[in-house]
Amino acid sequence: MKDSFKREKLGKTLTTILFTIISIAYVFPVAMVVLNSFKLNTFVKTETFKFPTAESYASFDNFIKGMTFGGYPFANSVFYSIVITILGTFLILLFTSMAAWYISRVDSLFCRIVYYGCVFSMVVPFQMVMFTLSKTADTLKLNTPWTIPVIYLGFGAGLAVFMFVGFVKSIPLDIEEAAAIDGCSPIKTFFSVVLPMLKPTLVSVAILEIMWIWNDYLLPYLVLDRTEYRTIPIHIQYLKGSYGTVDLGATMALILLSIIPVIIFYLTCQKHIIKGVAAGAVKG
C-alpha cells in the first residue's frame, strides 16, 4: 500500500511539474510582448528578454505611435475587427446550430452527406483554396467587412456542425415531440426548446470562433480592400517605415492591445469550454 501511495504521489508530482513547464512555455511569449511593448524600439532588439530600465522605458509612446502610424486610424481597425467578429460568429452560431439540429433529426442520405462534408472541410488547408476564394469573393462582392462574415460562415461551419450534432443527439426526442403536440412549429420548437438547451455548446463554439476570427490575418488580407478596410492584424502588419523597417515597440504595443479583449472574454467564459466540448462529444 505504501509503495502504491508513493508511486501515485510521484506520478501526480511529475504531472504537476510537466504541466507547469507547459504553462510557462505558453505564457512566456505573452510576457515578452508585455515587457517589450514598454521599451524603446532599439532596446526591443538588443534587450529582448530584460525588464525595461530607466534608459529603455518608453512609457505609452509605443501605443500612441502604433495607433497613429501611417495616417490610418486605429479606431477604424478596431471597429472593422469588431464588426467582422460579431457578424461572423452570429452567422456561424445561428445557421450551423439549425443545420446540426436538422441533420440529427432527419435520417437521410442527404443529411449524412452534408454532415461528412462539414467534417471533411476541417482537414482541408486554407492555402489550397485561398486564391480561388479571393477571386470568388471579388466576383460576389464579399470583400467588405459587412459581407466577409459569409466566408467565415463557410470556413467555420465544419467544427461548429460537428460539435452541435454531437450535443443535439444527446437531447431526448420526447421534449421536441411534446412541443409539437402543444402546437409548436419546427421553427418555434428549435428557437423555444432546442436552442436554449444548446447553451453550453453555443458558448464553447462562440469562444473558439471569436478567437479565430478576431486574430485572423490571412483571410481579410486576401479579400478586403486594404486601402479602405484594415482589421487589427492587418493594421499591425503595416507598421513599417522606409526601406521596410519595423517599429517593434509599436508592434508589440498593438499586439498587446489586440489580445487583451480576447483574454478577458476567454477568462470570463472558460468554465463553459470543457462543458460544451464534452457535451458535444457524447455522440458523434
Write down the pLDDT at residue 283: 44
Is residue 132 located within the same domain as residue 271?
A: yes
Which residue do the cell numbers 470543457 mark?
A: 274
Is residue 100 located within the same domain as residue 49?
A: no
Measure the CA–CA gap between 284 and 277, rounded to whole angstroms. Answer: 12
Q: Please report which confidence band the pLDDT of residue 278 belongs to, taking 50, 70 and 90 as the band edges.
A: low
Write down the pLDDT at residue 203: 85
DSSP secondary structure letters along 155-198 = HHHHHHHHHHHHHHTTS-HHHHHHHHHTT--HHHHIIIIIHHHT
Q: pLDDT digit string (tens) for 126-143?
A: 888 888 888 888 888 888
Write down the pLDDT at residue 92: 95
Q: Is residue 96 part of a domain?
A: yes
Would the pLDDT of 275 be above 70?
no
- Among residues 38, 62, 86, the one where a domain terminates is 62
Total count of domains within the chain: 2
Is residue 229 located within the same domain as residue 99?
A: yes
Q: Is residue 213 part of a domain?
A: yes
8 Å CB contact between 254 and 66:
yes
Structural domain that includes position 52: 2-62
What are the CA-CA distances from residue 207 to residues 131, 168, 268, 283, 284 (Å)?
28, 19, 10, 21, 21
Measure the CA–CA gap between 149 and 155, rounded to whole angstroms. Answer: 10
Is residue 55 located within the same domain as residue 87?
A: no
Quick one: which of 271, 269, 265, 146 has its CA closest to 215?
Answer: 265
Which residue do the cell numbers 479583449 mark?
A: 261
Is residue 120 located within the same domain as residue 247?
A: yes
Measure the CA–CA gap between 276 and 201, rounded to whole angstroms. Answer: 4
Q: pLDDT digit string (tens) for 65-119?
A: 888 877 788 899 999 999 999 999 999 999 999 999 999 888 889 989 999 988 8
Q: Is residue 55 part of a domain?
A: yes
Is residue 32 located within the same domain as residue 152?
A: no
Write down the pLDDT at residue 284: 43
Q: Is residue 247 part of a domain?
A: yes
> In what helix (H) or strand (E) does residue 265 lie, and over which residues does it extend?
helix 248-269
Q: Is residue 251 part of a domain?
A: yes
Quick one: which of 73, 89, 108, 31 has its CA closest to 215?
Answer: 89
What is the 3-state secondary structure of 79-141? HHHHHHHHHHHHHHHHHHHHHHHHHHHCCCHHHHHHHHHHHHHCCCCHHHCHHHHHHHHHHCC
- Among residues 19, 37, 62, the one where a domain terminates is 62
Mean pLDDT confidence for 152-164: 90
The whole-model pTM stands at 0.85
Q: Is residue 67 part of a domain?
A: no
Q: pLDDT digit string (tens) for 68-81?
A: 877 788 899 999 99
CATH code of residue 182: 1.10.3720.10
Is residue 213 located within the same domain as residue 91?
A: yes
Is residue 26 located within the same domain as residue 110?
A: no
Between residues 265 and 224, the one the model is more confident about: 224
Write down the pLDDT at residue 268: 80
Is residue 46 located within the same domain as residue 85?
A: no
The single-letter DSSP state of residue 243 is G
235: helix, strand or coil? helix
- Among residues 32, 62, 92, the one where a domain terminates is 62
Q: How confident is the prediction for the chain on average, in pLDDT?
A: 85
* Cell numbers representing residue 150 in the block: 459569409
Would the pLDDT of 279 be above 60?
no
Is residue 193 located within the same domain as residue 106?
A: yes
Would the pLDDT of 276 be above 70?
no
Measure the CA–CA gap between 80 and 82, rounded to whole angstroms. Answer: 5
Write down the pLDDT at residue 214: 92
Is residue 40 located within the same domain as residue 91?
A: no
DSSP secondary structure letters along 9-69 = HHHHHHHHHHHHHHHHHHHHHHHHHHHHTTB-HHHHHHSTTS---TTTB-TTHHHHHHHHG
Quick one: which of 28, 43, 69 has its CA closest to 248?
Answer: 43
